[in-house]
Structure 1
Amino acid sequence: MNTIKSESVKVICHASHLLFVEPDLTRAMTGSVQKTLYRHSFGQHLTKGMLLIAVVMVFTLLAEPVLAGKDKVDIDELPFKATSLIIETTDNDIELQAFVDGNAWKRLKIYGPKNRKVFDLKTQKNLGQQGLSEMHIASEPDHFPEDALAPSEEANEVVRAFLDRFPAGSYEVEGVTIDGIELEGYAILTHVIPALPEILAPLSFGDDPPVVDSNNLVIEWEPVTTRFIGDGSVEIIEYQVILDQVEPLRETPWIDGSARRSLINVPGTVTSLTVPPEYLLPGTLYDFEVLAIEASGNTTISEGEFITAE
């Protein structure tokens, strides 16, 4: 820091700040100031008038780009709100899922680890003018052999071929808004797939689903600590339990055509869920799923069913 004095005026030149002080007056000017107004080599002091002129000139040079920036802000690129790529696996298939969330976009592209384009979507006409925000897509699943459902070596071969098709790594997500602003994001795809949750209750001991008491129904499963394929640990951050009413169907289904559905997420340390009796109807068939969600987002699903007593 350099300090220059001239009677009642003091100027301080600093690498990042320049202060001009008079009695009862302080002004701060932001900029990159790396020279002194005091010429040590000649031992000269600036007069008050010269000093004021110098300070005003420095302030003008520093302030001009800052003030200009306030009048015009160019936004040529924005980040997506959310981007993700995960692998979802059941005992009979495996698929890739993608999710993006952004503001009024009309074009979307996804590039793989080797900069190979794997997805390209362009909206048209009215939808192109309106724009999209969220989108969740799933690939066509690869199915395991009917006589060799997971876990089996035949299922593992299908999984290995699927993983070769979608390598692990960083995937770049690019988009364009309806205003022509570019959107950008990244999603990390991993091959850390948790093993299937082993359901403990309710269990069927024959071809018919078990009959349960609506006032005392607990869905239980074993904790997932291993991978679907290969060695290594997993980090289960959540389990999700999904209940679907199968029979009788609702007269008015959900917009996607499915029956009444309930989703409940529990922490990764919890391995059971008491189903609220208020949700269940007497004499009704339900399907349920237990999802193990790994820290990467990759998910495996085990399924079961039950009938509530009349």
Structure 2
Amino acid sequence: MSLQTKLTMSIAVIPALFVTTHFLSATSAPTPATAAGGPIPLKFNKIYWEYNASANDLGVHVSLDGEDWKSLEIENPLGKVIFEVEGSGPYKTYGMTELFFEGAEPSLDEVPLSVLLGKFPQGNYEFSGLDVSNHEIESVGKLSHAIPAGPQVLADIVGNSFLRIHWSAVKAPPPGFPKVPVNVVAYQVIVEKFQVTVPATTLSLTVSPEFVAALPKGVHQFEVLAIEASGNQTPRVPSSRSSRTSRQDRGARRRPRGRARRGSAP
């Protein structure tokens, strides 16, 4: 799975049905450059939660980008190393740049929320390592426990030609989560390999007939995510009304894997 507010839904594309899409993304600011001779900051680094409201599971994901680094570790606010990686062979000689990984997302029915949040305390996480010239690399990513609830999502077929997706504004955490202020800054709509980011003031979008016409026949997934200012995000399946609106949306509701740096906000 993955953590912003997200919705997964599938639609069957048929010749008479046309649809349109949009997408979103959330990011974290890089650490300011240090004085000459000091550690080199990463170009980009981010650590964030993703909560799946439908499956009730939660995990922490990481993405980063830097120049020719050969080793890297992440240290939590308590000073404990929670992740480390080191290249060997040509990766040690020439280095690496981008890295994205999803932490496992245990069910909160099996691992209590308080236990999981305790494993990843909020605060500054230090990213440090070495590049291929043995220069030190150092950046900081902030992890917050401000996790948004999933939006209520509906979909309507307009004039048998357009698919309109609309959702409710998210202004609070999910039930049972820490009661902290939540500031959703964007929503992301994903249809297959395409995605669009819209600001938090936008609560609907229309999928164009041209896009749908370009898709092969069959079942195609789309999803909507809500992204908090911290980068945390939450997925959620559509309501039953959405399913009734589009009778073609029967099919696998499993979330796609391998979404590199999905949900990064500018």
Same-fold call, TM cutoff 0.5: yes
Structural RMSD (CA): 2.3
Which of 203, 211, 229 aligns to 1:295? It is 229
Determine if the alignment matches structure 1 residue 224 to structure 2 residue 186.
Answer: no
Q: SS of 1:78's equivalent?
A: coil
Give, in whole Å, the separation in 1 of the partners of 2:123 and 2:98.
23
| Residue 75 (structure 1) shift | 3.5
The match for 1:135 is 99
TM-score w.r.t. the length of structure 2 is 0.70
Match of 1:169 in 2: 123
Cα deviation for residue 201 of structure 1 reads 2.0
Q: Which residue is 1:262 aligned to? A: 194
CA distance in 2, matches of 1:215, 1:176: 54
Q: Match for 1:197: what amino acid?
A: P
CA contact under 8 A between 1:168 and 1:191: conserved in structure 2? yes
Kept in 1: contact 2:145–2:178 (CA 8 A): no
Partner-residue secondary structure (3-state), 2:210? helix
What is the Cα deviation at residue 177 of structure 1?
A: 0.4
Segment of structure 1 superposing worse, 279-288 or 158-167: 279-288
> Equivalents in 1 of 2:129, 2:119: separation in Å?
24
**Contact 1:287-1:303 within 8 A present in 2 as well:** no
> How has the CA–CA distance of structure 1 residues 176 and 270 changed in structure 2, closer, same or farther, with 3 Å as cutoff?
same
Question: How far off its partner does 1:295 sit?
Answer: 0.4
Q: Out of 177, 180, 191, which is 1:243 matched to? A: 191
Matched residue, 1:87: 49
Q: Is the 8 A contact 1:142 1:158 kept in 2?
A: no
Structure 1 SS opposite 2:161: helix
**2:76 aligns to what?**
112
Distance 1:283 1:136 in 2: 32
For 1:33-52, list aligned pairs within 5 A.
none
CA distance in 2, matches of 1:133, 1:213: 47
SS in 1 for 2:112: helix
- Write the deviation string for residues 67-99 of structure 1: whole angstroms up to 9, x where unpaired: xxxxxx973521111111100011212110111
Q: CA deviation at 1:108?
A: 0.3
Kept after mapping to 1: 8 A contact 2:122/2:144: yes
State the alpha-carbon separation in 2 of the partners of residues 85 and 119 from structure 1: 12
How many residue pairs are counted as aligned between the two chains?
202
Q: CA deviation at 1:283?
A: 4.8
Amino acid at match of 2:51: T
Tell me the secondary structure at the aligned position of residue 195 of structure 1.
Answer: coil
Q: Would you tell me which structure has more helix in proportion to its own residues?
A: 1
Q: Which has the higher contact order (CA 8 A, sep 6+)?
A: 2
Does 2:86 correspond to 1:122? yes
TM-score (norm 1): 0.60
Partner of 2:135: 181
The gaps in structure 2 that reach 5 residues or longer are 1-34, 250-266
- 2:139 and 2:47 map into 1 onto residues whose CA distance is 12
AA aligned opposite 1:270: T
The amino acid across from 1:278 in the alignment is E
List per-residue Cα deviations over 1:180-202 (Å, max 9, x = no partner): 11110001001000011111224
Alignment partner for residue 194 of structure 1, among 125, 141, 148? 148
Contact 1:238 1:266 in 2 (8 A): yes
Distance in 2 (alpha carbons) for counterparts of 1:132 and 1:84: 17
- For residues 221 and 241 of structure 1, the distance between their equivalents in structure 2, rounded to whole angstroms, comes to 11
